[in-house]
Structure 1
Amino acid sequence: MQILVDADACPVVIKDMLYRAAQRAEVNVTLVANQYLRTPPSRFIKALQVPSGFDEADKRIVDMAEAGDLVITADIPLAAAALEKGAQVLDPRGVWFSRENIQERLTMRDVMDQLRASGIDTGGPPPFSPQDGKAFAGQLDRFLAQQARR
């Protein structure tokens, strides 16, 4: 089992949690991004820079993902592709994507894209909050504890 991170838009506080979790649980964490990422020295943490381009990081994550892996992303199409490969997907706010909810999320994303394309200001997600970080930490800890029992 490995953790793959869509790192371009991942909040720093989440990356820091993942670095600590990698060391504590001795699990491989790979951050994938279009830009260079500094990571702490660790045999469990790796940063992978992909060429810049539309969805290059997403494509690499999907290529690398295997059943049982954990993918960290807020990108709904990437979440859908990772779920298809049998990975589990957690967004940085601590919400799980699942086979049961992914189609609804894809549909809502498409509706919002259509509204924006027609000139309607849909706002955007709320700023990342400390509560979001706590929710993520709790879900990550539960996931890693389940993995340790296997």
Structure 2
Amino acid sequence: MTTGTRPWKIPESVLVVIHTPALDVLLIRRADAETDFWQSVTGSKDLADEPLALTAAREVAEETGVQCGAGTPLASRLVDWGLTNVYEIYPRWRARYAPGVTHNTEHLFGLCVPERLTPVLAPREHTDWRWLPYRDAAGACFSPSNAEAILLLPEFAR
């Protein structure tokens, strides 16, 4: 099924907390939000059977230019935290999903990069970026589930 010319979004996604060993976190600002909407890398599966690690690596590359897929130096630093969030999709974005879909399942990942890097943003998706200590990053996030994930960082960065 489609939304006119595009297929419906799959209500299964990833959230990738990109961080340094010092627990500084990269946040990016959404281009399609009316407010100061800061977040980690997020994105939906392209296909129902797409492996979550592939979704995570693809979204990191699309949204930041950082390559962390299989065969790259950062591949082993992309870690599935084994945690999920189920949340209600904001009404303004529900038209992207099949009729009746109201909730999304989000899988949490972390990506440890050696140092703060300069991302290459996709301007249609994100307009700015910043690195913050993890507690400050959690406080700056628009999404409560994103903030909670960032606050788990010390546990998963060991």
TM-score range for the pair, normalised by the shorter chain length: under 0.3
Q: Normalised by the size of structure 2, how large is the TM-score? A: 0.26
More strand by share: 2
**Which structure has more helix as a fraction of its residues?**
1
